[in-house]
Amino acid sequence: MRPILILTKNLVIEQELQQRLQHLNYEVFCSVELFDRLRISEYDQKEQKEWLDQFLANYQVVIISETISDNEIQAILPNLRSEERILLRKLGAHPSAKEEEQIRALGLNDWITADQSIDVLREQLSEKLVTLPREEPNIVVLYSGQAKSGDIDNLKNNLSNRELTVLDCLIQAQGEVVSREALCTHLWNEAPNNSHLSQASVLIKRIKMKLEIAGYDPELLKTIWGRGYLLAKSNLSNSFSVQAR
Protein backbone atom coordinates (compact mmCIF):
# COMPACT_ATOMS: atom_id res chain seq x y z
CA MET A 1 0.00 0.00 0.00
CA ARG A 2 1.52 3.30 -1.11
CA PRO A 3 1.43 6.22 1.38
CA ILE A 4 -0.77 9.32 1.52
CA LEU A 5 0.52 12.84 0.88
CA ILE A 6 -0.98 15.95 2.50
CA LEU A 7 -0.14 19.26 0.82
CA THR A 8 -0.54 22.24 3.12
CA LYS A 9 0.69 25.68 4.12
CA ASN A 10 0.53 24.86 7.83
CA LEU A 11 1.81 21.57 9.22
CA VAL A 12 0.34 22.12 12.69
CA ILE A 13 -3.31 22.07 11.63
CA GLU A 14 -2.82 18.79 9.75
CA GLN A 15 -1.65 16.86 12.81
CA GLU A 16 -5.11 15.60 13.78
CA LEU A 17 -5.87 14.29 10.28
CA GLN A 18 -2.41 12.77 10.04
CA GLN A 19 -2.93 10.91 13.32
CA ARG A 20 -6.32 9.56 12.22
CA LEU A 21 -4.88 8.31 8.95
CA GLN A 22 -2.01 6.67 10.83
CA HIS A 23 -4.58 5.10 13.16
CA LEU A 24 -6.02 3.45 10.01
CA ASN A 25 -2.51 2.11 9.27
CA TYR A 26 -1.72 4.51 6.41
CA GLU A 27 1.79 5.91 6.09
CA VAL A 28 1.37 9.70 5.83
CA PHE A 29 3.72 12.45 4.66
CA CYS A 30 2.68 16.07 5.25
CA SER A 31 4.59 18.77 3.35
CA VAL A 32 4.72 22.53 2.89
CA GLU A 33 7.94 22.39 0.90
CA LEU A 34 6.49 20.14 -1.79
CA PHE A 35 3.52 22.47 -2.20
CA ASP A 36 5.97 25.35 -2.67
CA ARG A 37 7.85 23.36 -5.31
CA LEU A 38 4.62 22.60 -7.18
CA ARG A 39 3.54 26.24 -7.32
CA ILE A 40 6.80 27.72 -8.68
CA SER A 41 7.03 29.14 -12.20
CA GLU A 42 6.13 26.97 -15.18
CA TYR A 43 9.74 27.13 -16.41
CA ASP A 44 11.13 25.89 -13.10
CA GLN A 45 8.47 23.16 -12.97
CA LYS A 46 9.78 21.81 -16.29
CA GLU A 47 13.27 21.74 -14.84
CA GLN A 48 12.04 19.69 -11.87
CA LYS A 49 9.38 17.64 -13.67
CA GLU A 50 11.29 14.37 -13.66
CA TRP A 51 12.01 14.69 -9.95
CA LEU A 52 8.41 15.65 -9.17
CA ASP A 53 6.99 12.76 -11.20
CA GLN A 54 9.27 10.27 -9.48
CA PHE A 55 8.46 11.65 -6.04
CA LEU A 56 4.69 11.81 -6.55
CA ALA A 57 4.62 8.27 -7.96
CA ASN A 58 5.12 7.09 -4.39
CA TYR A 59 1.68 8.36 -3.32
CA GLN A 60 -1.71 6.79 -4.00
CA VAL A 61 -3.69 9.66 -2.42
CA VAL A 62 -2.97 13.40 -2.28
CA ILE A 63 -5.02 15.45 0.18
CA ILE A 64 -5.00 19.19 -0.51
CA SER A 65 -5.47 21.24 2.66
CA GLU A 66 -8.10 23.92 3.21
CA THR A 67 -5.16 26.32 3.65
CA ILE A 68 -4.62 26.16 -0.13
CA SER A 69 -6.88 28.27 -2.35
CA ASP A 70 -8.78 27.07 -5.43
CA ASN A 71 -6.56 29.22 -7.66
CA GLU A 72 -3.46 27.61 -6.18
CA ILE A 73 -4.98 24.16 -6.74
CA GLN A 74 -5.52 24.97 -10.41
CA ALA A 75 -1.86 25.93 -10.71
CA ILE A 76 -0.51 22.70 -9.24
CA LEU A 77 -3.04 20.19 -10.64
CA PRO A 78 -1.19 19.46 -13.92
CA ASN A 79 1.61 17.87 -11.89
CA LEU A 80 -0.75 16.00 -9.59
CA ARG A 81 -3.20 14.36 -11.99
CA SER A 82 -2.74 10.65 -12.58
CA GLU A 83 -5.00 7.65 -13.20
CA GLU A 84 -3.09 5.98 -10.38
CA ARG A 85 -3.73 8.69 -7.81
CA ILE A 86 -6.78 9.97 -5.91
CA LEU A 87 -6.98 13.74 -5.30
CA LEU A 88 -9.02 14.88 -2.29
CA ARG A 89 -9.92 18.38 -1.12
CA LYS A 90 -9.84 18.86 2.66
CA LEU A 91 -12.51 21.28 3.90
CA GLY A 92 -13.38 22.85 7.21
CA ALA A 93 -17.04 21.82 6.95
CA HIS A 94 -19.42 19.75 4.83
CA PRO A 95 -19.74 21.45 1.41
CA SER A 96 -22.97 22.64 -0.16
CA ALA A 97 -24.13 21.13 -3.46
CA LYS A 98 -22.65 24.13 -5.29
CA GLU A 99 -19.32 23.74 -3.49
CA GLU A 100 -19.26 20.05 -4.42
CA GLU A 101 -19.71 21.02 -8.07
CA GLN A 102 -16.79 23.45 -7.76
CA ILE A 103 -14.61 20.68 -6.33
CA ARG A 104 -15.44 18.41 -9.26
CA ALA A 105 -14.89 21.29 -11.70
CA LEU A 106 -11.40 21.76 -10.28
CA GLY A 107 -10.63 18.19 -11.31
CA LEU A 108 -10.54 16.64 -7.84
CA ASN A 109 -11.98 13.20 -7.08
CA ASP A 110 -13.71 13.99 -3.80
CA TRP A 111 -13.53 15.85 -0.51
CA ILE A 112 -13.04 15.16 3.18
CA THR A 113 -13.70 17.36 6.20
CA ALA A 114 -11.42 18.23 9.07
CA ASP A 115 -13.83 16.77 11.65
CA GLN A 116 -14.65 13.52 9.82
CA SER A 117 -14.87 10.47 12.07
CA ILE A 118 -12.40 7.64 11.65
CA ASP A 119 -15.23 5.34 10.52
CA VAL A 120 -16.33 7.66 7.72
CA LEU A 121 -12.73 8.39 6.72
CA ARG A 122 -11.93 4.66 6.56
CA GLU A 123 -14.92 3.87 4.33
CA GLN A 124 -14.37 6.87 2.06
CA LEU A 125 -10.73 6.02 1.42
CA SER A 126 -11.55 2.35 0.91
CA GLU A 127 -14.27 3.27 -1.60
CA LYS A 128 -11.92 5.50 -3.58
CA LEU A 129 -8.82 3.32 -3.49
CA VAL A 130 -10.65 0.34 -4.93
CA THR A 131 -11.06 2.33 -8.17
CA LEU A 132 -7.29 2.68 -8.68
CA PRO A 133 -5.60 0.36 -11.20
CA ARG A 134 -4.33 -2.83 -9.65
CA GLU A 135 -0.81 -4.06 -9.95
CA GLU A 136 -2.24 -7.16 -11.68
CA PRO A 137 -4.20 -5.65 -14.59
CA ASN A 138 -5.87 -8.90 -15.71
CA ILE A 139 -9.44 -7.68 -15.35
CA VAL A 140 -8.80 -4.42 -17.17
CA VAL A 141 -7.21 -6.15 -20.13
CA LEU A 142 -9.84 -8.85 -20.35
CA TYR A 143 -12.78 -6.45 -20.52
CA SER A 144 -11.19 -3.42 -22.15
CA GLY A 145 -13.00 -4.09 -25.42
CA GLN A 146 -16.51 -4.30 -24.01
CA ALA A 147 -19.17 -1.89 -25.21
CA LYS A 148 -19.67 1.21 -23.10
CA SER A 149 -23.41 0.55 -23.06
CA GLY A 150 -22.79 -2.38 -20.73
CA ASP A 151 -23.51 -6.09 -20.84
CA ILE A 152 -26.58 -6.72 -18.66
CA ASP A 153 -26.28 -10.53 -18.81
CA ASN A 154 -22.62 -10.37 -17.81
CA LEU A 155 -23.51 -8.16 -14.86
CA LYS A 156 -26.38 -10.37 -13.65
CA ASN A 157 -24.28 -13.52 -13.89
CA ASN A 158 -21.46 -12.00 -11.85
CA LEU A 159 -23.55 -10.56 -9.02
CA SER A 160 -24.24 -12.58 -5.87
CA ASN A 161 -27.80 -12.77 -4.51
CA ARG A 162 -26.96 -10.19 -1.86
CA GLU A 163 -25.39 -7.86 -4.44
CA LEU A 164 -28.52 -8.29 -6.57
CA THR A 165 -30.61 -7.29 -3.58
CA VAL A 166 -28.52 -4.16 -3.03
CA LEU A 167 -28.79 -3.15 -6.67
CA ASP A 168 -32.54 -3.81 -6.65
CA CYS A 169 -32.96 -1.54 -3.62
CA LEU A 170 -31.01 1.26 -5.29
CA ILE A 171 -32.92 0.90 -8.57
CA GLN A 172 -36.25 1.09 -6.72
CA ALA A 173 -35.11 4.40 -5.21
CA GLN A 174 -35.23 5.87 -8.76
CA GLY A 175 -32.21 8.12 -8.47
CA GLU A 176 -32.76 9.11 -4.83
CA VAL A 177 -30.22 8.55 -2.06
CA VAL A 178 -30.69 5.37 0.00
CA SER A 179 -29.25 5.71 3.50
CA ARG A 180 -26.81 3.08 4.74
CA GLU A 181 -29.25 2.22 7.52
CA ALA A 182 -32.16 1.76 5.11
CA LEU A 183 -30.04 -0.42 2.84
CA CYS A 184 -28.99 -2.62 5.79
CA THR A 185 -32.60 -2.97 6.92
CA HIS A 186 -33.56 -3.97 3.37
CA LEU A 187 -30.77 -6.59 3.33
CA TRP A 188 -31.11 -8.13 6.79
CA ASN A 189 -34.68 -7.21 7.87
CA GLU A 190 -33.46 -5.95 11.23
CA ALA A 191 -31.98 -2.84 12.81
CA PRO A 192 -28.52 -2.17 11.36
CA ASN A 193 -25.39 -2.74 13.43
CA ASN A 194 -21.71 -1.99 12.80
CA SER A 195 -21.16 -5.36 11.16
CA HIS A 196 -24.05 -4.80 8.73
CA LEU A 197 -22.86 -1.28 7.91
CA SER A 198 -19.36 -2.57 7.17
CA GLN A 199 -20.70 -5.42 5.01
CA ALA A 200 -22.87 -2.98 3.07
CA SER A 201 -19.82 -0.85 2.24
CA VAL A 202 -17.99 -3.92 0.95
CA LEU A 203 -21.01 -4.91 -1.17
CA ILE A 204 -21.12 -1.43 -2.74
CA LYS A 205 -17.42 -1.64 -3.65
CA ARG A 206 -17.89 -5.07 -5.21
CA ILE A 207 -20.88 -3.92 -7.25
CA LYS A 208 -18.91 -0.92 -8.56
CA MET A 209 -16.11 -3.22 -9.71
CA LYS A 210 -18.56 -5.61 -11.36
CA LEU A 211 -20.31 -2.72 -13.10
CA GLU A 212 -16.99 -1.74 -14.65
CA ILE A 213 -16.19 -5.34 -15.61
CA ALA A 214 -19.56 -5.57 -17.39
CA GLY A 215 -18.84 -2.39 -19.37
CA TYR A 216 -20.79 0.12 -17.27
CA ASP A 217 -19.50 3.36 -15.80
CA PRO A 218 -18.80 2.52 -12.13
CA GLU A 219 -19.62 6.13 -11.25
CA LEU A 220 -23.29 5.30 -11.87
CA LEU A 221 -23.15 4.08 -8.28
CA LYS A 222 -22.12 6.89 -5.96
CA THR A 223 -21.40 7.13 -2.25
CA ILE A 224 -22.93 10.34 -0.89
CA TRP A 225 -20.88 10.85 2.26
CA GLY A 226 -22.96 11.36 5.38
CA ARG A 227 -26.16 10.37 3.54
CA GLY A 228 -25.87 6.98 1.82
CA TYR A 229 -25.74 5.55 -1.71
CA LEU A 230 -27.24 6.63 -5.02
CA LEU A 231 -27.65 4.80 -8.33
CA ALA A 232 -27.98 7.32 -11.16
CA LYS A 233 -30.85 6.82 -13.58
CA SER A 234 -29.58 5.10 -16.72
CA ASN A 235 -30.25 2.31 -19.21
CA LEU A 236 -29.11 -0.03 -16.46
CA SER A 237 -32.06 0.96 -14.28
CA ASN A 238 -34.48 0.55 -17.17
CA SER A 239 -33.28 -2.88 -18.29
CA PHE A 240 -32.43 -4.50 -14.96
CA SER A 241 -35.01 -6.81 -13.48
CA VAL A 242 -33.80 -8.53 -10.34
CA GLN A 243 -34.66 -12.19 -9.89
CA ALA A 244 -32.79 -13.83 -7.03
CA ARG A 245 -31.00 -16.96 -8.17
Segments of the chain with pLDDT less than 50: 135-148, 242-245
For residues 31-69, one letter each, b for 16 or more C-beta atoms within 10 angstroms of the residue's C-beta and e for the rest, the string is bbebbebbeeeeeebeeeeeebeeebeebbbbbbbbbbe
Residue 174's pLDDT is what?
87
Architecture (CATH level 2) of domain 4-118: 3-Layer(aba) Sandwich (3.40)
Give the model confidence (pLDDT) of 171-196 as tens digits. 889 889 999 899 999 999 988 887 78
Look up the pTM and report it. 0.57
What tens digit of pLDDT does each residue of 10-21 get? 999 999 999 999
H/E stretch holding 113 reads: strand 110-113
> How far is CA 191 from its chain centroid?
27
- In this structure, which topology does domain 138-239 adopt according to CATH? Arc Repressor Mutant, subunit A (1.10.10)
Query: Helix or strand or coil: residue 204?
Result: helix
Cα→Cα distances 172→151, 153, 191, 231, 241, Å: 20, 20, 20, 10, 10
Q: How many residues does the chain have?
A: 245
Domain boundaries defined on the chain: 4-118, 138-239
